Structure formats: structure tokens, C-alpha cells
Amino acid sequence: MASCSVEDVLTKAERDEAEKLKGITVNKELDLEFDPGNLLAFDKNRIDTREFKDNKREDFLRSLARDNTQLLINEVWKLPTERVEEIIVAKLPDPTTSLPREKPAPKPKPPTKWEQFAKLKGIQKKKKTNLVWDEVHKEWRRRWGYKRAKDDTKEWLIEVPENADPSEDQFAKRNKAKKERVAKNEYNRLKNIARAQKIKVPGMGLAPTPRQSKAELAQAVNVAKISTASVGKFQDNLPKEKTPKNTGKKRKFQPLIGDFSSEKQKQLDLLKVMDSKKPRLDITKAVNKQMREEDRDSAQKSKKGFGKKGRRGNMSGKGKGKAGGKGKAKKGKGQKPHMKQGKR
Amino acid sequence: MTRYGFALKAKTRRSKRFLQSRQPKLTEDQKSSMIIRGGNTSQTVSQALKDVYALKKPNAVLYKRKNMVRPFDDSTALEFFSKKSDCSLFLFGSHNKKRPNNLIFGRMFDFHVLDMFELGIERFVSLRDVKTDTCPEGTKPLLVFAGELFETDREHQRLRSLLTDFFCGPRVSAVRLAGLEHVLHFTALEGKIYMRSYKVLLKKSGCRTPRIQLQDMGPSFDFVMRRNHMASDDLYKTAHRQPRGVKPKKKKNISHDAFGTRLGRLHMQKQDLDKLQTRKMKGLRKRRGEQTAETAAAAAKAPRTDE
């Protein structure tokens, strides 16, 4: 025992360790690259083509595979393990090899009209219960859907209201109202989707419908006509086709909830105008009136003989009436106060 | 499902789930593959397709009927199939005099062809010929690539990425140690690729890690590289782009020291330590009686000093 030195003990321990690990050690020139997350190993070493002869090919490949697999298994056994229902399981890290995706990443959807409004007003989503107590049937029923608690359309008795037509079918009326609500909801849902995907949806009357009325067809024709590069300026009319005159800017309404300060200012101005005792002076109108008076006087002076006729002719010539003569027949909107000169 | 051109409406919950499974997601599920039989196939190719299908079940569809498609000329038919079956990997097998026993491995991005590699089978040993018991279907295989060509040559690099994509199983967070049974070994040598599939036997060794013994199993191929179609670099980069939600957010102001204790960091404004509100010790407060005595003592002292 005295001859045993520390070095001997250490070398003996090392030899024992090497013996133990002999079974699993593999000697390679270059270390392999591992990706334990994917259970992947990559061997960069040169393969000796001399050993790769025809008859010994399979054995060579098998021994190469055995060595590489041993190294990969060694790597996997180094990972932390845990026990899941009496099975020992190794936790894999994230894979390091980057593989291409199947589809492009999803883009965040823009909020819908209601979501924008709710965010603006600060309305939170309230969690509602799935089932509601139905007094009539004395049981718990769904809040919406098949066999729901308060189903309007399933009532067997509807009182005819006082001001309604007695021969009107109230049941049909309710059903129709429901169908309209469903259609409106669907339309709004599609508009939200179209807005999210930035697809332009054609406006009313331009989307293909089974039966289009004369007015809808005319509108579609007009829209098609101005869809050229020069906005329909050089499109010839068909024989007997009349160009619609009131295609201009329609009235633009301010959004319901927008700039609060400007709305406040507008309303205060309105109140100020209403409050003031002085009548407001529209300068253009006043100038026009003055010009017309002068024209009338000069016409009267020049045509003394036919004064009555001329006067009558001039009296009917008020700016608005003349300009909107044709337009008014078609549509009442879009009337700009034209500063059209009356008949001279 | 009703269509409006840009919006699909699901009328049942089942169809809604089906549509949602086909939507692009942040972290994607396992890619499915379609195995297509071409215009004319030899016995080798048909058997090879069936073997790969057996390897890749259940995330694979096998189109057994003849499809007159030429992927390298016109890939629209493949893209149509991919859209219909929601598969992004494909394997197309065909046989003609000019290209005997042809297999085309390919993958798609956004239902358009990303990469395609045409490999000819020189030697093929089928699953049926090797009479050993196979491992259960759906096991995640160990993949080993050998040969410096896989590192140096650009085409081989792409092929390696494609084969990894094709044969790696589902993405798992943990794996049963005894269940690592299947290994696929690819060797690249002189323009040829040797694919072998072995069953792993874990034997006892002196220590915790077992000693490996391999048993021949499954299909083995000797491939020769023929044509290929690789995606352009920017398309390849776009395909790899990960969305922002995938990376885990780093928690700031938390660190771990050498002993494993979790340390946090607080950021404070400047404090005036004189005016710091500490605990009130009522017992130490000066009483009124004592106070007067003190002042009296102080007052008594003052005149004394004056004097």
C-alpha cells in the first residue's frame, strides 16, 4: 500500500473511466454538427473512396452510420430529462436549422368598424352567460341560435297594433324583418372583410344582381362611361342618350364621431347666428338681385313696346330655377347655387 | 361553404375548423406531403413511392392514378394539387427512356414551387425485401448527413435542407429516450446520394449512454443527381421570414447570478435620505414632561454660562 501514490490512483481511475466509455466513444477527425431539436447530425468528414468498394459498400455505410448515430445519441443523452408518467423523456431544445415556412406569416387584421368605435368610446367586451332562463318554457335555453330563449319568430300569437293595417300579415312582417336584419349583418361583415383585405367592393347597384331596375342599369352605364382615363370626356353618347348633368360632388357629411372641437365650434356659430337680431347678408345673392334689377330696368327702357312680355320673361329668370330645371326633374340633390346670368 | 369571391363563409362548425386549419399561422404545424405518380412509372418507382408513403404516414397523401404532369415545364398542376390538399411538400415519380426511375422531391411556399430536385434511382431495396420488423409509423427519425459535399456545394446544401424538411417528423418539445428507433442516413459521394434507413438497437454499455447497433430496415436508395430548380435568394429569404410573435420577448431587468438566484433591478428617483420616512418608534419620542425639564435645564444652563 505504501507504494501506491496519488498518480497511480489517478491513472487507474482514468483507465477505468476510459474502459467504461469505450463502448460509446467514436473517433472522428472533425466534430459533427448537431441539431438536437431536429434530431439532426451532420458529418463533415471526408469519406475515403478506397473503402467504398462495390462488395463492401453496405458494410462501410452501415459502420459509418453506426458511428454517426452513436455520436448523435450521445448528444441526445446529454439533454435534461424528466419523468412523465413513468417514462423517461428528454426535453429537446429549439431546432437550430432554419427551414422555410409553408405559408407567409399572417398579417394582423385591421379592426372592424365596431371595434374602432368601441376603442374610441372605451367600451369593454362583457362576458355573457351561454344559457338564459326562459320563463315561458321554464327551462334554460341558449342566448342565441337554434331553440333560443326569446325567439321572436316562433310566437303563436301576435297582437295587431292600433295603427296597423288589419289585413297585414304580422307573422310575415316579423319574418321579413328578421331576414333583412340577417342580410344587413352579412353585408356589414363582408364590408369589414373587404376593408381588411383592401378590396374595393362596388357600391349599391353596381354589383351584379339578378334583376336590375332601369335606374340601376342607368347608374351602372354612367359609372362604366366615366371609367376611362379621361373620365369619360371623349365617350360618345348613344343615339337618344342624354348625358346626366348633375354628376358632381354630392354633399359630404361629417362623420358622427370625429373632431369634437370643430363640431363644437360649428354649433356655437350656428347659435350665434340664430341669436343675432340682424339679418345675415348673402353678398352674392344681393349682387345678383341688384344686377337683375338693373337688367330689367335697362330692358324696360329699350323695349318699351314689348315691356309686358319682357318683364314676364325676366321675372321667371331666377338663377336657381333656371339652372336646376332639368336637374330637379332627375334628382333634387347636388344643387350648387349657380351664379347663372338671367335672360337679357 | 359559400363563397363571395374574397370571403368564404363556413356554415357549420366543422367546416369552420377545417378552414381555420388551412389558414396561415404564427407557428406552423407539420408539413404534409403529396406523393404523386407520373405519366408512366416502372415497378421500381411505384414501389419506391409506396415505401416513402409508408414512411411519411399519416401526413402524406398518395395519388396513385397516372397524372400527365411535367413539373419542370409546367408546375401549375402541382400547385393546384397542393392548394386542394393543403400540402407543401411533394414527391413526383415517373419513368421514361431518357430519365429512367425518376423521383422529384420538391417543396412549396404559399402554394408556389420553391425548390425541386430531380433524383434518379440507380439501386433500390424496398421495405418488403428486407424482412425485419419495422418501427411504428409516426416515429420521429434521427437524420444524419455525411459527406463534405453537403457543406461545400450549394446545390447539395439546398438538397440537404429539402431532405431535412421532407423527412423530419413533427416538431416536438420532448422525446422518449427508448423511442429513438429509426435513423435515416444520407451520404453524398461523387455526385451520388446514398440513402439508408436503419433500426436502432440500444445495447447496454458501461455507462448511462447506450451503445448503438444498427439493423438494416426499410427502403434504401442510391440516387444520382439530375436536374434541379432552386428558388432565387430573395424568395428563399422571404420564405424563411418569421413573424414577430414567434420570438419570445426578453424580460428586462431580470438576471441570474452564478448561484442561480434570480435578481431583479428597480429604477428609482433620487431620494433625499434626510427626509426619509422610517418607522415611528413611539417609545423613543420625547415626552412633554421631559421636554419642559430639558428646556428648563437648557434655560438654567444658559444663564449660568452667561454669568
pLDDT of chain A along its 344 residues, tens only?
A: 555 688 888 988 888 887 777 777 888 888 888 898 889 999 888 887 776 666 678 888 888 899 999 999 988 988 888 888 888 888 898 888 888 999 988 888 888 999 999 999 999 999 988 899 988 889 999 998 888 888 888 888 888 888 888 888 889 999 999 999 999 999 999 888 888 887 666 665 556 666 777 887 888 888 888 888 998 888 888 888 777 776 666 777 778 887 889 889 999 999 998 888 877 778 889 999 999 999 999 999 988 765 455 455 454 444 444 443 343 444 444 444 445 554 54
Q: Is residue B303 part of a domain?
A: no
Q: Is residue B157 part of a domain?
A: yes
**Cβ separation A102–B211 shorter than 8 A:** no
Low pLDDT (below 70) residues in chain B: 1-6, 289-307
Residues making up chain B, counted from first to last: 307
**Cβ separation A102–B241 shorter than 8 A:** no
Contact residues, chain B, for A190 at CB < 8 Å: 4, 7
- Judge residue A109's burial from the number of C-beta atoms within 10 Å of its C-beta, 0-12 exposed, 13-18 middle, 19 or more buried: exposed
Q: How far is CA A50 from CA A26, A57, B147, B191, in A?
A: 21, 10, 15, 16
**A68, A43, A63, A41: which is closest to B216 by C-alpha?**
A63
Q: What is the pLDDT of residue B3?
A: 60
**Cβ separation A91–B174 shorter than 8 A:** yes
Report how far residue A79's alpha carbon sits from residue A92's, in angstroms, rounded to the nearest whole number: 7
Phi, psi torsion values for A26, nearest 5 degrees: -130, 135
Q: The domain spanning residue B152 has which CATH number?
A: 3.40.50.10480
Contact predicate B221/B194, CB 8 Å: yes
- Judge residue A62's burial from the number of C-beta atoms within 10 Å of its C-beta, 0-12 exposed, 13-18 middle, 19 or more buried: middle
Neighbours of B195 (CB within 10 A): 20
Q: What is the pLDDT of residue B287?
A: 72
Q: Is residue B50 part of a domain?
A: yes
Nearest CA in chain A to B32: A102
Q: What is the pLDDT of residue B279?
A: 83
**B192, B244, B247: which is closest to B222 by C-alpha?**
B192
Pairing of strands B182-189, B142-146: parallel
**Cβ separation B241–A74 shorter than 8 A:** no
**Cβ separation B239–A69 shorter than 8 A:** no
Q: What is the pLDDT of residue A203?
A: 63
Q: Is residue B292 part of a domain?
A: no
Supply the range of the domain harboring residue B87. 13-240
The answer to whether the pTM exceeds 0.80 is no
Q: What is the pLDDT of residues B10-28, one digit of tens each?
A: 889 999 999 888 888 888 8
Q: How many domains, in total, are found in chain B?
A: 1
Contact predicate A47/A97, CB 8 Å: no
Q: What is the pLDDT of residue A140?
A: 93
Which residues 52-111 of chain A have a CB within 8 Å of chain B? 52, 58, 61-62, 64-66, 68-70, 72-74, 76-77, 81-82, 84, 87-92, 95, 97-106
Residue B68 distance to chain A (closest CA, Å): 26
Q: Is residue B180 part of a domain?
A: yes
Q: How far is CA A333 from the centre of its chain?
A: 31
Contact residues, chain A, for B180 at CB < 8 Å: 39, 73, 76
Q: What is the pLDDT of residue B297?
A: 57
Contact residues, chain A, for B223 at CB < 8 Å: none
Size of interface A-B (CB pairs under 8 A): 193
Supply B292's cell numbers: 419642559
| Whole-number CA gyration radius for chain A | 44
Nearest CA in chain B to A31: B146
Q: Is residue B125 part of a domain?
A: yes
Chain B contact for A22 (CB, 8 A cutoff): yes
Q: What is the pLDDT of residue B166?
A: 92
Q: Is residue B275 part of a domain?
A: no
DSSP state of B273: G
